[in-house]
Amino acid sequence: MLNFSFVNPTQIHFGQGQIACLSSNIPQDTKVLVVYGGGSIKKNGVYEQVCEALNGHSWGEFAGIEPNPSYQTCMQAVDMVKQNGYDFILAVGGGSVIDGCKFIAAAALFDGEPWDILGKGAEVKSALPLGVVLTLPATGSESNSFSVVSNKDTNDKLPFATPLVQPKFAVLDPDVMKTLPERQLANGVVDAFVHTMEQYLTYPVNAKVQDRFAEGLLLTLMEEGPKVFDKDVSYDVRANVMWSATMALNGLIGAGVPQDWGTHMIGHEITAVYGLDHAQTLAIVLPRLMEEQKETKREKILQYAQRVLGLDTTNPDEAIALAIKKTEMFFHDVKMPTRLSDYGLGEEVADKIVLQLERHGMTALGEHQAVTLEKSRQILIRSV
Ligand code: NZQ
Ligand code: ZN
């Protein structure tokens, strides 16, 4: 097992009716900016619950953070924070709203051009405190320190990370999932699944706890994921999917193990250029990246085949091929396409995305830095 330091300071309030606990979790003497997206929270009762819980607080709101939050929109919120003296940010939404709020929280106190936080990796020295009401289980952003923000003018979709933007608390009420359209349910299950794979499907370091936690998450997502689309889906199915998504990227399963993230880096570029949803890109890239890296990932793919998929591994090459196929079939089970051609895209994607990867220094991806630009090109060509 590799060395690690681990802490996850985000307090989770999980379950029905938990939005009410905002009243006691946000300090009374703060001025709160409630930030949300395109308005889904006004159609499912979440907005009302937030208003009621904040009854005793001084607060205002900023609406309109878009999927794949843009630097441009976030900066409008930063201006509002500065003009009105808000000193607590409450993100109410999915990964995009939460990531946008992390950037707003950092940019509001940043000395200099805030784009440098993303574009140049400029150090964040302080940030406003942030709380979250999660409405879409997918990214894990509600209890981690990562954020991904896009610059619409330049086709850049770039991450930054600092413990300073880790949410103080996150409210997870599985009932909020009732209004999620199929496309977002699919996105959520696939993103959580791929987050787990990026931290599991590398090479063995004898990290038994991490491996078995990861396998538990993969099994849960495979078992419960397809059920979230049922008309009479139960509270428990939603709860299990929601908690899996949070646990998949809160630092626990990734502590002390090698990590890949190649699928994500290629996927972010596809979103930046072609606008596909984040998880749509992952379902396209992961099976092809597994194929491309099947020798370096051999031992872990076989472990996955045996323990998660229950496959016979007596013939290892056959088992690996079947494991990749079954992974793709699982994505189809949760109504997620797995080919660029499903979105009307072809081989032309490869050149464009390779250029983007090069521009962003993503020239050696994966746990061994073995995915060169040429390998990324092959992965993309095979993804058609
Ligand atoms: O904007 P509204 O109207 O709220 O609608 C949203 C949005 O259109 C809708 N939605 C959310 N909750 C809903 C709902 N509709 C009905 N009922 C609800 N309860 O869903 C749409 C998509 O929302 P979005 O927040 O974009 O989705 P997601 O949570 O998948 O977030 C994706 C973003 O997170 C980043 C991605 O790159 C992408 O930008 N990621 C963040 C990570 C992190 N911070 O750790 C890691 C991930 O790998 C990922 O990169
Ligand atoms: Zn992701």
Among all ligands shown, which has an atom nearest to the Cα of 275?
1
Ligand 1 nearest atom to the CA of residue 176, by list position? 19
Q: What is the pLDDT of residues 88-137, one digit of tens each?
A: 999 999 999 999 999 999 999 999 999 999 999 999 999 999 999 999 99
| Structural domains in the chain plus CATH codes | 11-175 (3.40.50.1970), 182-382 (1.20.1090.10)
What pLDDT shows up at residue 230? 97
250 lines ligand 1 (CB under 6 A): no
The secondary structure of 313-357 as a DSSP string is -SSHHHHHHHHHHHHHHHHHHTT----GGGGT--THHHHHHHHHH
Distance 95 CA to ligand 1 centre (A): 4
Phi-psi region for residue 374, left (φ > 0), alpha (ψ -120 to 50) or beta?
Answer: alpha
DSSP state of 229: G
176 lines ligand 1 (CB under 6 A): yes
**Cα torsion for 32, 106, 250, 301, to the nearest 10°?**
140
179 lines ligand 1 (CB under 6 A): yes
- Distance of CA 375 to CAs 177, 264, 379, Å? 38, 15, 6
- Measured between its terminal Cα atoms, the distance across the chain in Å is 37
User: How many Cα atoms sit within 13 Å of 267 on the Cβ side?
Assistant: 27
Residue 33: Cβ within 10 Å count: 25
Distance 378 CA to ligand 1 centre (A): 29
- Edge to edge, what strands does the sheet with 88-93 contain? 11-14, 169-172, 130-134, 88-93, 31-36, 58-62
Complex confidence, ipTM: 0.99
The residue among 327, 68, 305 whose CA lies nearest residue 190 is 327
- 3-state DSSP assignment of residue 159: strand
Pocket test of ligand 1: the residue of 61, 175, 184 to mutate, having most ligand atoms within 8 Å of its CB, is 184
Distance 37 CA to ligand 1 centre (A): 9
**Cα torsion for 236, 237, 241, 242, to the nearest 10°?**
-40
**Alpha-carbon span 312 to 310, nearest angstrom:** 7
Which amino acid, residue 333?
Answer: D
DSSP state of 294: T
Tens of pLDDT along the chain (384 residues)?
A: 999 999 999 999 999 999 999 999 999 999 999 999 999 999 999 999 999 999 999 999 999 999 999 999 999 999 999 999 999 999 999 999 999 999 999 999 999 999 999 999 999 999 999 999 999 999 999 999 999 999 999 999 999 999 999 999 999 999 999 999 999 999 999 999 999 999 999 999 999 999 999 999 999 999 999 999 999 999 999 999 999 999 999 999 999 999 999 999 999 999 999 999 999 999 999 999 999 999 999 999 999 999 999 999 999 999 999 999 999 999 999 999 999 999 999 999 999 999 999 999 999 999 999 999 999 999 999 999
Distance 67 CA to ligand 1 centre (A): 6
What pLDDT shows up at residue 316? 98
243 lines ligand 1 (CB under 6 A): no
140 lines ligand 1 (CB under 6 A): yes
- 3-state DSSP assignment of residue 256: coil
Whole-structure pTM value? 0.98
What pLDDT shows up at residue 107? 98
Pocket test of ligand 1: the residue of 62, 65, 92, 96 to mutate, having most ligand atoms within 8 Å of its CB, is 96
What pLDDT shows up at residue 333? 98
Distance 146 CA to ligand 2 centre (A): 11
Pocket test of ligand 1: the residue of 40, 98, 281 to mutate, having most ligand atoms within 8 Å of its CB, is 40
What pLDDT shows up at residue 219? 98
135 lines ligand 1 (CB under 6 A): yes
Question: Are residues 173 and 17 in contact, defined by beta-carbon separation less than 8 angstroms?
Answer: yes
Residue 55: Cβ within 10 Å count: 9
**Alpha-carbon span 40 to 330, nearest angstrom:** 28
The residue among 365, 163, 137, 357 whose CA lies nearest residue 247 is 137
| Letter string b/e over residues 176-215, b meaning 16 or more CB atoms within 10 A of that residue's CB | bbeebeeebbbbbbbbbbbbbbbbbbbeeeebeebbebbb
267 lines ligand 1 (CB under 6 A): no
Distance 27 CA to ligand 2 centre (A): 31
What pLDDT shows up at residue 68? 95
Ligand 1 nearest atom to the CA of residue 99, by list position? 44
Q: Are strands 156-161 and 146-151 parallel, antiparallel or unpaired?
A: antiparallel
